[in-house]
């Protein structure tokens, strides 16, 4: 098969997610309503607490990161969630696609949606709260976004694995995992305030390092970006391998058939 055919196998998931999203009224909530509620809540809280500009940046970076993480991860998870909800998962896995086609295609759409949300939130936070997301230039922004999107892909893959392992009820994982990330990776506070066990867990999450890196633009401090990049690449690779294994296991257990009935 030539490269165009191979490319279309990736784009198939992005195409399905795009069509489904544009016809879903809840997309408006996902892209605008909840992100704005989150940003405005945190922004107004900083005013109430009369924190300085660097702390405003710290909190708004967390709010923006969490929002685009949630948007992008759900897009990756949607690649199987939509199939599971419509009971059409059988048709996907009868075709000659591999796990990476599905994940990267859906992640591509998640990156587009996440970038749109980032643009909106960055603009609003600049206008209302004086937060300049480009203070360190464009490269740190791109690195930060790259890290958030990689983490989103890993969470989305984890949701897909849980669907293929536990079946219909596993979609709760889609809504829960980003909450756990919120708690552990220092979205609204430095990880140093966490209990030792959770601090250790935070050090295993690439998002922790990408947040530290981006925040170091606004509040000078140490960061370990290379560790974050390594962990993100490692989890992505591990996630894809585990997803491939989960698909094969689902074919052996017959859960793929039950998910279509």
Partner 1 sequence: MGAAGHGRQAKDRDRMGHESVTQKAVVARGISKKYRSFLGKPATVLSGIDLDVESGEIFGLLGPNGSGKTTLISIFSTLIYPESGSLSILGLDGRRERGEIRKVINISTAKPNFPWSLTVAENLRHYGMLYGLYGRGLSQVVDDQIAAFELGDYRDMRFENLSTGLKQRLSIAKAMINHPRLLFLDEPTTGLDPDMSKKTRDLIQRIHREDNISVVLSTHYMPEAEMLCDRIAFLRKGRIVALDTPRNLKRQLALGERLTVTYQGPADIAALQRMPGVLGVKAAAGRVEIVLDRGDDGAGDGGALGRGNGRADGLDGIIKLFSQARILDLTIKEPDLEDVFIELAR
Contact residues for partner 1, defined by CB under 8 A: 1, 4-9, 11-12, 15-16, 19-20, 23-24, 82-83, 86-88, 90-97, 101, 248, 251-254, 256-257, 260-261
Give the shortest CB-11-to-partner 1 separation in angstroms: 6
Give the shortest CB-260-to-partner 1 separation in angstroms: 7
Give the shortest CB-199-to-partner 1 separation in angstroms: 35
**Any idea which residue has 């052996």 for tokens?**
252
> Would you give the end-to-end CA distance of the chain in angstroms?
32
**Any idea which residue has 């030539």 for tokens?**
2
Quick check: helix, strand or coil at residue 162? Answer: helix
Smaller CB separation from partner 1, 24 or 134? 24
Task: Give just the sign of the alpha carbon dihedral 131, 136, 137, 141.
Answer: negative
Smaller CB separation from partner 1, 227 or 260? 260
Smaller CB separation from partner 1, 96 or 220? 96
**Residues 243, 164: Cα–Cα separation, whole Å:** 9
Give the shortest CB-20-to-partner 1 separation in angstroms: 5
Smaller CB separation from partner 1, 16 or 223? 16
**Residues 237, 222: Cα–Cα separation, whole Å:** 27
Q: Record the tokens describing residue 250, joined without a space.
A: 């689902």
Task: DSSP letter for 132, please.
Answer: -
Q: Record the tokens describing residue 30, joined without a space.
A: 């996902």
Give the shortest CB-128-to-partner 1 separation in angstroms: 35
């Amino acid at each position: 098969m030539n490269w165009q055919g191979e490319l279309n196998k990736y784009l198939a998931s992005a195409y399905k997610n795009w069509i489904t999203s544009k016809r879903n009224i809840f997309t408006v909530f996902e892209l605008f309503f909840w992100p704005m509620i989150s940003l405005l809540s945190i922004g107004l809280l900083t005013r109430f607490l009369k924190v300085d500009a660097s702390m405003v940046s710290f909190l708004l970076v967390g709010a923006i990161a969490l929002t685009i993480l949630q948007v992008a991860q759900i897009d990756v998870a949607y690649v199987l969630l939509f199939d599971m909800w419509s009971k059409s998962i059988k048709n996907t896995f009868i075709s000659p696609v591999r796990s990476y086609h599905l994940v990267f295609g859906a992640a591509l759409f998640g990156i587009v949606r996440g970038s749109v949300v980032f643009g909106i939130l960055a603009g609003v936070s600049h206008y209302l709260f004086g937060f300049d997301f480009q203070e360190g230039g464009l490269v740190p922004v791109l690195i930060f976004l790259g890290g958030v999107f990689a983490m989103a892909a890993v969470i989305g893959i984890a949701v897909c694995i849980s669907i293929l392992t536990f079946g219909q009820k596993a979609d709760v994982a889609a809504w829960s995992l980003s909450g756990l990330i919120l708690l552990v990776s220092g979205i609204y506070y430095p990880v140093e305030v966490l209990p030792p066990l959770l601090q250790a867990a935070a050090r295993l999450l690439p998002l922790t390092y990408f947040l530290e890196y981006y925040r170091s633009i606004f509040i000078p401090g140490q960061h370990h970006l290379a560790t974050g990049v390594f962990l993100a690449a490692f989890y992505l690779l591990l996630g894809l391998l585990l997803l491939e294994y989960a698909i094969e296991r689902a074919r052996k257990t017959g859960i793929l058939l039950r998910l279509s009935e």
